[in-house]
Structure 1
Amino acid sequence: MLQLTTYRNLQIFLVLMTVIGMSFALFFLQRHLGLTPCPLCIFQRIGLMIMGGFALIAALFNPKPMAVRLLLWLGSLAGIGWATAVAARHVWLQHLPADQVPSCGPGLDYWLDTLPMLQVFKEVFAGSGECATVDWTFMGLSIPEQSLILFSVLLVVHVLILWRIVRPIAQNRLA
């Protein structure tokens, strides 16, 4: 019987979740609903794509050396960890009282053209009024809340992948 939690199958699952997440964002939210992503949404997408890129490499090549698997896992974990942290910040901004929400500033394009990259990161994470706006909900959850749930599930998948990587060592030590 096909085992669903093999290293390669878990990597394929991560790639599939990246494709689904990005398709939902680009085709449904942006094209169908006409929503424009705020800077924090864009940063979440970048993290998801980084995770998907490392997962795709791992799924395609299915490396056998543990060091290579760990390196790919760390890259993937960094991407989804980044996306999760940004989504958590975004949810926090959306739950601030109206009088504590930061004022809207210039767009991300302007910041990228005029500010050093470190300052752009600082400005994005400070948030803006546009990041605190809830434009669409599904089952009472805003887009960043839905993203945070998805990213948390993907972090759990990363724990499973780590277990797949280190399990042979644990089995050899117990034997």
Structure 2
Amino acid sequence: MRILKSKPLWLVLALTCIGLVLASFVLTARFHLHPCHLCILQRVLFLLLAGFALLAAAFSPRLAGRTIGVLALITATAGIGVAGYQVWLQAQPMDPFSCSSSTPESIEHLVDWLGRKAPDLFMVTGLCQEVELTILKLSLAGWALIAFSAALIAGGAALLARR
């Protein structure tokens, strides 16, 4: 027996992702944190995930809603990869070139472009290996990894939920 409905799950997921992005802005300002390329990319992925979740809720239960839901799951999976990579980097000995090579890749170009368009939201000022804040012994990247994993589970549940 399925008791979950997909639309409320997608809406909760979208609101949670928006809340996480807002929390990242507040934490950055309050504790004078310096976000790196991977931090900013995770913000972008949370915003994309929120957008896909809102669209999936709007078009649920139709095929378009399910297709957009799959895009949300892909975005959550990408977020798991990015956050997991940053957690791994933070466990390594400090290296000033930890998250970028001598020639910027497409991700760095995208993040730098976003930083020029909206510097208050997306400006890179830190290194990916630095852990500036821990909450309950987890870095913010660790919390992002948990959040993206939970989003993947919630999105999967929404796709399988009653229409």
Q: TM-score band, normalised by the shorter chain?
A: 0.7 to 0.9
1:81-125 CA-partner distances (Å, limit 9, x unpaired): 1111100000000111x2xx4323898xxx9xx85637858xxxx
SS in 2 for 1:132: coil
In structure 1, the partner of 2:138 is 141
What RMSD, in angstroms, separates the aligned Cα atoms of the two structures?
Answer: 2.8
Q: Distance in 2 between matches of 1:79 and 1:19?
A: 14
Task: Give the number of the structure with larger relative contact order, counting CA–CA contacts within 8 Å between residues 6 or more apart.
Answer: 2
The structure having more radius of gyration, on CA atoms, is 1
* Counterpart amino acid of residue 70 in structure 1: R
Normalised TM-score (structure 2): 0.77
Q: Which runs of 5+ in 1 are unaligned?
A: 122-128, 169-175
Residue 69 in 1 paired to residue 65 in 2? yes
Q: 1:118 to 1:106 in 2, by over 3 A?
A: closer
Shift of 1:163: 1.2
SS in 1 for 2:127: helix
In structure 2, the partner of 1:16 is 15
Q: Which runs of 5+ in 2 are unaligned?
A: 111-125
1:104-152 CA-partner distances (Å, limit 9, x unpaired): 3898xxx9xx85637858xxxxxxx921111011111111111111111
Residue 103 in 1 paired to residue 96 in 2? yes
Match of 1:156 among 153, 156, 160: 153
Q: 1:86 to 1:30 in 2, by over 3 A?
A: same
In structure 1, the partner of 2:43 is 45
**Total equivalences in the alignment:** 146
Normalised TM-score (structure 1): 0.72
